[in-house]
Each structure stands twice: as C-alpha cells, then as structure tokens.
Chain A
C-alpha cells in the first residue's frame, strides 16, 4: 500500500527523469510562442504589474518597447508601459523562460525546444552577451542596436544552421558539460563550447555571407553564457509535465521577477506561492556593493529546480568562490540538497561525488521539515535600470513560499476528504 502522495511523487519523478529536452529550431516569438500577441510582453518570475516592477525589469520593458518601435525614448517607453496599453504575463505561462528580466517581445527571436518524451515545447530568447544588455535592464542605443543585429543576422543564420544540422539532444550535452565543470546556470563555458563545436560546420554550410558567419561565430564565442538560454528552456521542458501530477508535492517551478520569488508545485497546478525576493550577498564587481543590488530576479533558477545550478555546485567548484568558500563548501552545498529532494538524477552525474546523480525533485514537505532551503547560484543586477550586472552570489528562496504551498496542499487534501482522521 502506498499513500497517494508517494504515488504521485513517483510519477512526477518518472516524468522528470525521462525528459528529453531537444533543440529543434528557432522562430519569432509572436509566431511560435503560444498565446503571444502584439500587445503582450512576457517577463521572468511570477505575475507582476508595472507599478511593482523593480529597476531592471522596468529597464527591460523599456528597452523592449524601443526595440519594438512603440517608443523612441526611455521616457516615452515608461509612459507607454504605465498606460495600460501593454499587457505583462510571466514567461512561464507561455511555455517560456527568460534570464534576469526575462523580457520577451513579439518580434524577438527564440530558441525552440521540444521534450520529445512528452511532446511539450519550451522557448527562450537568445542570450545577448555580457555588459549593458536588455536582460539586465539596460535600454541605451547600443542595446537596441545589438538586439537588431541579433534579429537580422544572428537569428537567421542560427535558424538555418539548425535546419541543416537537425535536432540537438540537449540532455546529453548538459550531462557532458556537468562533467566538465559547468553547472548550467552560472557556469556555462563548457556547454557553450560543446554547442559551438557541434554547430560550427553547419554554420559554415548556411547560405549566408562569410562576414555574417564569422560575426555569428565570434559572437557565440565571446559569450560564455550562450548556453544558458538553452539550459533554462531545457529544464523548463523537462519539468513542465510534472506540473500536472495531482497530489504531487514536487516543485516544478521556481522563478523571480525582481520583486517577488514564486514557486509552483505539481499537485497545486498553476498556482503561484510568492514572497518578497531576497537581496543576494555575493561578490561584487569593482565599484559596487550590496547597496547597489536589486532583489533576486530571473527564471534561471529553473535550472536549480531540475537539480542543476546551485544543486550541482559540487561539480563546478569555481562558483563557490562567490562567497569566499572552497571546493569542499561546494560539495557541502550539493550534499545538503539531497536532504530536500527525492531521487538522484539518472542523467546528470557529478564526478566529485563519485558520479552520484544530482539532487532531483524538490519536495516541499522536506524543505519545511528540515528547514533547508534550495540553494541558487545567481547573477546580481543593479537596482537601477540601465546599469547592468554588478556581481554574482548565492541566494535562497523565502521559506514563506513553501509554507504557503504546504498549507494550500493540506487544505486541498482536506477538501477532497483525503486525510485520515
């Protein structure tokens, strides 16, 4: 005899373990993202209104409006955003994810992934690179110019590249990268290298000019985090079907919008459980301090939700230097995550732990019982729009999210008469 929660969690873990995230192509947001419309911008994290948005999120929206041609100056963009003419919805509600501000506008090019085990798809924009970029809330002319280059050169070249190459198995690529010092959130150097190596011949085979091919290769190469915008939707695609498993206490979404942190739990469907996002303590670039930091922002902790990122820190020891720690600390962080998860990953094995599978399937009951919160590696954005990244560090979700979820779960069980007296 097995209780219904255990049964549901088994099912959820089977879904997660069997996921096969695959890159199948590229497209334009309004053409391929379900429910995408002309007056809709998608953003990272749980639902939020313009009034509540923090600096980087607003900056991203403003950049998006200028890019879309709906405003010609940041001031006009801010007015437009506040006017009610623009709707905002979470990426997560549209099978998408976005790093940092995570803004997706209708004309943006996106990666298209499919979880071939279950047929569901996931989408993510192309990573802009480092420095002053939209996802960090920058909206200057160089930001827009760069986005336009991505739209007119990067996107078409990559689209044809994948058409020529055929689908790419991202699960295997991530599994390899994780054994090369990556953790698929803050450390993507290996995976980016594997990707470029994989698609370089196909880039050369495309119909574009040498100049364009060179520019594309150089751009991909200049940005270690190119792969982040693939690892995130890969995690999303893997986890999403677990969001439909009734009576499961497994977390299938963690996300922040710069103001609130939100989680979603299998047995509670689409409901968000939110609490104020934390300020990250970490390593700051020269000239910046904790006072400059924006609260936690981005959908990128979808990687941690899958057992990568901070959960796999043991395999990417360089990350732990962000809090003045040592590789031994990295192992300790990962080891502690096994206390709050359900199974070990069958795909993502961690060499420093004797190839133990990464901690998979966060259970809200275990989080509350042990008081151990998931650990997330993240970048830190400046709180003012337009400035960009100011550092990186380690952060945890608020306990309140899990407490609210547990309460809702018990209420649901009570309502359905599923608790013994």
Chain B
C-alpha cells in the first residue's frame, strides 16, 4: 500500500460532489482509502486522521483540490484513480431519471392535468369503487379495469354515471377505444364509421380487428364490463353507450357484443334497436336470434360474422351468415387431410387453451354441441373440468379466469401460465391443440413467439414417441399492433402451426380435423 496525493490547483468543486466522488473512487479495486476535498484546514485534518497526508499537503490552499489515496499499486495506479475522477466529473446529466411527477391522489392528478376527462382505474377491487365515485363526482368519465368490485357498488356508480351523462365502463372492463385511442387491452385499428359497445373484452378486440381487416374502421369502442347485462345492473352502460352512438355523427352503424343478456335486459336493448335510425348488428354470443330480428337488428353466429355483417351493411351490400372459411373449400380439405395424417389412431383428444375469455367462450359455443368438452367455462355443470374422467376427454380452458390468475399475471400479459399448461396438459393422446394469440396494447411483447416455442417443445417431446400433433391458431391483431400481425403469423407458421384469419374459422377447422380423425378411426362416439 502506498499513499499518493494528486493536486488540482485553483479548482473548485462543491463539497457534496466531492463526497460522492470519494465514494465512487473508494469502490475501485485496489483503492483502500481515498479522500477528495478542497484544501481547507478541516479537510487536511481529516486526511491526516485517515493517514492519507503526504508532504505535498503543505502546499495546499483552500482553493486547491486534492485527491489523497492509499492504493495497492499491484492493482491500480494513481493515474487510473485520476482518470476515474475525471470520468465521473465529465459524466453529463443524462443519468437524469426521466420519470414524470406522479401525484399521490386523484384530486391532485386532476389539478396536474387540466382538461382531464377520463380516469382509468386498475387499483385493487376493494378500493376501486371509492376512486370511481370521486372521479364521477368530479365530472370525469371512467374506465374501470379492476374486478372484485361488489355488484351493489357497480349499480350505484352506474346510476350516478347515467344521471350525469358519464361513461362508467366496468368493472372488469378490459377493452375500449375512445376517440381512436386504445385503452387497456385493445388493438391499433383505423378510425372509421362503425361504433361498438362490448361487454366482453377479447370479443370486442376480435370484432374490431376483423372490421379493420375488412378495410373499415371504428368510430368509438365502448366497454361495459362483464356484468352489465345482468338483471341487477340492467344494461345501464350498454344502453348509455348505445344511445351515445346513435347520437354520434361519426357513427353510421352500431355493433353490440355480449354474452346472452338476462331476458329483461335483452328486451330493453332490442327496444332501443327498434327505434334506432342507424343499422344495428347484435352478437349475443350463442344467444337467440328471434328477438333481435324482431327488433329490426341483425343477429350473428360469431364475432367474425358480426364484423362481416357490419361491414357489408355499412357498404350497402347483401349479407348472410358467414359459416365457412376465407380459403377455398378444396384448400381447406387439403389442410385437413394433411394435418389429420400426422396423427396416430390413439390420438383423439382436443386441447383448447385460450388466453382470451370471450374467444374461449365462442369456441365452446361452436364446438360444445358436437363434443363433450370439459372446461372451466363448461356449457353445463357436469362438464366442469373437475369432472374430467380417468379415461380422460376433450378439454377447453379459459386461462384468464380467476382460478388461474391468483398471484400471477393474466396470460395475455405473461405467457408463462399457458406455457405450463402446454407442458402438463398435452401428451401422446392429444390430437389437436387450439389456441388464440392476442396482440395489441396490454399484451405480451411476442405472444406468437411464446406459442411457437412451446409447440416446438411439444413436437420434440412427442417425436420421441414417434408422434406429432396438430396445432391450430388464430391471431387477434392488426399490422398496426406493435407485435405485428404478419410477423406473428409467420412465427407461428414456422413452427408448423395452421393459422386461420379468425377465431371462428380456427374453431371450425378444429371441428373438421376432429371429425376427420373420428372417421378415420372408425369411431362412433
């Protein structure tokens, strides 16, 4: 160990800067002790106390800066210490953190953002109602992403919102696009003439994405939250949204999306549809057509169908139920043959693993009549996943449901949950894997990549048993989403995944493949 002094004459640095510098230099390997200071009596005493003083100290004045260091010359030179000193000083203020001020409360935030007109609430459910109340009292619209909000609070808050002419989208509302701006989980779609009110997050996403694909655009996309069309809430936000779109000059056609409402609520909505001067397309997913038709609105058989009809009606074209595929029939048959040929006789089971709740629901509604599918969103109680027999069977899971998101992020945000299910639920008996890949704001940076990786792992695993598997997917996204629709499709196809242009088509192809292997196996189940 040797002691060195470095002196900079007539240099001034702030005492705090120098303290920080001392600390930085202290951390260099080979520096046992170091003091950086101006040559004041106090600092010279301190240096002496620390055993760092040398003869050169006698020449120091308070206007001089000194670096006194005790170093192990095998590890570091005094010059290196001086260089580090200079480097630190030259470091510019780009280490400045770029974080904006975060006010501690809603009221101070409203002050900090003059003209604020929307509050987006995703705090824990037990606190959400109070915040929403404050927002509505302050005259702001609300999007309430939080769930676990008591239904009594939802009712009271929606009544207040309606009274004040405000939006209260939620609770459990994941998707909205207001004034062309995607909120929470939503896709980048072009602006246009079709307005949407949706009680179902990924259902809304799918419809908006399909409308965009067909070349039309969205004026406003209003969410209502999943419970809005239950009798207790009475469709308050669906009605509020519907009426505002009827009054909106930019909106020429309206699409409503929801699971089948409670009867009294369905009636109220149909009443409004009856009196609407603008065409109304209604998808009560899996629900009854008659009442909708009687109200002069257009019923649908799938989310894709809703988008197709909306676009056709907007363009004054003829429309019909879309039950088929975008690709020509023969091409579909070829795909079915080719894929079915990959499978062995004992591969019979379906594994549908969804991240989007409404997309899972649509799959269940389209497949559930033809197959006995065990699920956490079963069509009837005896098909609940817990009842899966020892002999096993078909499975369709909505991985975004509460039981799978305790203490874990939603699978749209983080693919890990589905990755684990790919590992645990896919085996040598699996015939077809059906998945959704949801792009857009809020979603994981590369959902297609995650699925492709898992599929490659599965094929690897199954090839050890001389087997392969059929994987069918749809991508809910656009070329404007940051995850890029086309790139995502390419990623999936590179893993041998068959990508269809919509959830409904993916489900239909799954049905065809399943029927094909049934026939092939000579099974009549």
A-side interface residues toward B, CB under 8 Å?
130-131, 283, 285-287, 318-319, 321-322, 324, 326-329, 331-332, 335-336, 338-339, 369-372
Of the stretches B97-105, B295-303, B461-469, B505-513, the one at the interface is: B97-105
Is B250 at the interface (CB under 8 A from chain A)?
Answer: no
The answer to whether B22 touches A286 (Cβ under 8 A) is yes
Query: Please, which residues of chain B bring their CB within 8 A of the CB of A327?
Result: 93, 96
Looking across the interface, which residue of chain A has its beta carbon closest to that of B49?
A: A287
Q: Which residues of A contact B46 (CB under 8 A)?
A: 285-286
A326 x B93 contact (CB < 8 A): yes
User: Are B16 and A326 closer than 8 Å at their CB atoms?
Assistant: no
How far apart are the CA atoms of A329 and B108 in the complex, in Å? 19
With beta carbons under 8 angstroms apart, the residue of B14, B45, B96, B104 that contacts A339 is B104
Q: Is B20 within 8 A of A287, CB to CB?
A: no
Contact, CB under 8 Å: A131 / B105: no
Taking the nearest CB of chain B, how far is it from the CB of A380, in angstroms? 12
Q: Check A287–B50 contact: CB distance below 8 A.
A: yes
Contact B95 A326 (CB under 8 A): yes
- The closest CB in chain B to the CB of A324 belongs to B20
Contact of B16 among A286, A319, A369, A370 (CB under 8 A): A319
Which residue of B16, B50, B99, B108 contacts A321 across the interface (Cβ within 8 Å)? B16
B221 within 8 A of A: no
Chain B 79-102 interface residues, beta-carbon cutoff 8 Å to A = 93, 95-97, 99, 101
13 contacts between A and B (CB under 8 A): A285-B46, A286-B26, A286-B33, A286-B35, A287-B33, A321-B16, A329-B97, A331-B101, A332-B99, A336-B104, A339-B108, A371-B104, A372-B104
Interface check B416, CB cutoff 8 A: no
Q: Number of B residues whose C-beta is below 8 Å from A?
A: 25
Q: Which residues of A contact B97 (CB under 8 A)?
A: 326, 328-329
In the docked arrangement, what's the CA distance between A169 and B375, Å? 79
Cβ 8 A contact of B50, one of A131, A286, A318: A286
Complex: how many Å from CA A286 to CA B51?
A: 12
Identity of the chain A residue whose Cβ is nearest the Cβ of B93 in the assembled complex? A326
For A369, give the chain B residue with the smallest CB separation. B105
Q: Which residues of B contact A338 (CB under 8 A)?
A: 108
In angstroms, Cα B105 to Cα A283, docked, is: 31
Q: Is residue B17 contacting chain A, with contact meaning CB distance below 8 A? A: yes
Docked-complex contact A370 and B19, CB < 8 angstroms: no
Contact of B96 among A131, A326, A371 (CB under 8 A): A326
Is B42 located at the chain interface by the 8 A CB criterion?
yes
Check B23 for interface membership: any CB of A closer than 8 A: yes
For the complex, give the distance between the alpha carbons of A372 and B103 in Å.
Answer: 10
> Is B34 interfacial (CB 8 A cutoff)?
yes
Residues of chain B with a CB closer than 8 A to A371's CB: 104
CB distance from B109 to the nearest CB of A (A): 10
Question: Which of chain B's residues have a CB closer than 8 A to the CB of A329?
Answer: 97
**A201 CB to nearest chain B CB (Å):** 25
Q: How far is the CB of B277 from chain A (nearest CB, A)?
A: 49
List 6 extra interface pairs beyond A286-B50, A370-B108, CB under 8 A.
A319-B16, A321-B16, A321-B17, A326-B95, A327-B93, A370-B104
Q: Kindly state the separation between the CA atoms of A75 and B93 in the bound complex, as whole angstroms.
A: 51
Query: Would A283 and B95 count as touching, CB distance under 8 A?
Result: no
Nearest chain-A residue to B95 (Cβ)? A326
- In whole angstroms, how far apart are the Cα atoms of A332 and B99 in the complex? 9
Residues of chain B lying within 8 A (CB to CB) of residue A285 = 19, 46
Bound Cα distance from A372 to B107, whole angstroms: 14
Q: CA of A285 to CA of B15 in the docked complex: distance in angstroms?
A: 11
Closest beta carbon of chain A to B95's beta carbon, Å: 7
Chain A residues contacting B50 (CB-CB under 8 Å) are: 286-287
What are the 5 tightest A-B residue pairs by CB atom distance, in nearest-first order?
A370-B104, A326-B96, A321-B16, A372-B104, A286-B22
A420 to B26, CA, bound (A): 62
Q: How many A-B residue pairs have CB under 8 A?
A: 56
**Min CB distance, B65 to chain A, in Å?**
15
* Chain B 2-49 residues near chain A, CB threshold 8 A: 14, 16-17, 19-20, 22-23, 26, 33-35, 42, 45-46
A149 CB, min distance to chain B CBs, angstroms: 16
Report chain B residues within 8 Å CB of A286. 22-23, 26, 33-35, 46, 50
How far, in whole Å, are A220 and B453 apart by their CA atoms in the complex? 72
Q: Which residues of B sit under 8 angstroms from A283, Cβ to Cβ? A: 16, 19-20, 23
A322 to B15, CA, bound (A): 11
Which residue on chain A has the smallest CB distance to residue B62?
A: A222
**Residue numbers in B under 8 Å from A372 (CB-CB):** 104
B103 touches A339 (CB 8 A): yes
Please give, as numbers and ranges, the residues of chain B lying within 8 Å of A319 by CB-CB distance.
16
Contacts of B23 in A (CB 8 A): 283, 286
Quick one: closest B residue to A325, CB to CB?
B97
Chain B residues near A321 (CB-CB < 8 A): 16-17, 19-20
Q: Which residues of A contact B108 (CB under 8 A)?
A: 338-339, 370
Known pairs A285-B19, A286-B35, A322-B16; A370 contacts B105 (CB<8 A):
yes
> How far, in whole Å, are A286 and B52 apart by their CA atoms in the complex?
12
B96:A328 contact, CB within 8 angstroms = yes
Query: A372 vs B96: C-alpha distance in the bound complex, in angstroms?
Result: 23
Residues on B with beta carbons closer than 8 Å to the beta carbon of A369 = 105
| A131 touching B42 in the complex, CB below 8 Å, given contacts A326-B96, A328-B97 | yes
Output the nearest chain B residue to A391 by Cβ-Cβ distance.
B19
Partner of A332, one of B16, B26, B101: B101
Q: In the assembly, what is the distance between CA of A319 and CA of B15, in Å?
A: 10
Q: Which residues of B contact A318 (CB under 8 A)?
A: 14, 16-17
Q: Give bound CA distance, A331 to B14, whole Å.
A: 20
Residues on A with C-beta less than 8 A from B99 are 328, 332
B104: chain A residues at CB < 8 Å are 336, 339, 370-372
Which chain B residue shows the least CB distance to A282? B19
Considering the complex, give the chain A residue whose CB is closest to the CB of B33: A286
Q: Is the CB of A339 within 8 A of B33?
A: no
**CA separation between A131 and B22, bound complex, in Å?**
18
Q: Which residue of A287, A332, A339 contacts B105 across the interface (Cβ within 8 Å)?
A: A339
Which chain B residue lies CB-closest to A132? Answer: B45
Query: Nearest A residue to B17 by beta-carbon distance?
Result: A321
A174 to chain B: closest CB distance in Å? 21
Q: Are A130 and B105 in contact (CB under 8 A)?
A: no
Expressed in whole angstroms, the Cα–Cα distance for A396 and B22 within the complex equals 26
Bound state CA distance, A155 and B19, in angstroms? 33
How distant is the Cα of A287 from the Cα of B17 in the complex, in angstroms?
A: 17
Bitwise, B92-129 to A at CB < 8 A (1) or not (0) is 01011101010111001000000000000000000000
Measured in the bound complex, the distance between the Cα atoms of B45 and A339 in whole Å is: 44
Looking across the interface, which residue of chain A has its beta carbon closest to that of B68?
A286
Q: Give the residues in chain A near B42, CB-CB below 8 Å.
A: 130-131
In the assembled complex, the Cα of A286 lies from the Cα of B45 at a distance in Å of 13
Which residues on the B side are within 8 Å of A131 (C-beta)? Answer: 42, 45
Give residues of chain B (344-364) contacting chain A, Cβ–Cβ below 8 Å: none
Closest chain-A Cβ to B133's Cβ sits at a distance in Å of 15
The residues of A that contact B105 with a CB separation of less than 8 Å are: 339, 369-370
Residues of A within 8 A of B17 (CB): 318, 321
Shortest CB-to-CB span from A218 to chain B, Å, is 11
**What residues of A have a CB within 8 angstroms of the CB of B34 in the complex?**
286
Complex Cα spacing A63 to B148, Å: 62
Query: Which residues of chain A have C-beta atoms less than 8 A from B35's C-beta?
Result: 286
**Nearest CB in chain B: distance from A304 CB, A:** 18
Cα distance A344–B438 when bound, in Å? 50
CA–CA, A371 and B103, complex, Å = 12
In the bound complex, how far is the Cα of B35 from the Cα of A370, in angstroms? 42
Q: How far is the CA of A257 from the CA of B502 in the complex (A)?
A: 70
CA distance A145 to B96 in the complex (A): 46
- State the CA gap A238–B95 with chains docked (Å): 39
A326 to B96 CA separation, bound complex (whole angstroms): 6
Across-interface contacts of B33 in A (CB, < 8 A):
286-287
Complex contacts, B45 vs chain A, CB 8 Å: 131
**Nearest Cβ in chain B — how far from A407, in angstroms?**
22
With both chains docked as a complex, state the minimum distance between the C-beta of B103 and any C-beta of chain A, in angstroms.
7
Q: Known interface pairs A286-B22, A286-B35. Does A335 touch B101 (Cβ–Cβ under 8 Å)?
A: yes
State how many angstroms separate the Cβ of B347 from the closest Cβ of chain A: 58
CB distance from B334 to the nearest CB of A (A): 62
Collect the chain A residues with CB atoms within 8 Å of residue B95's CB.
Answer: 326
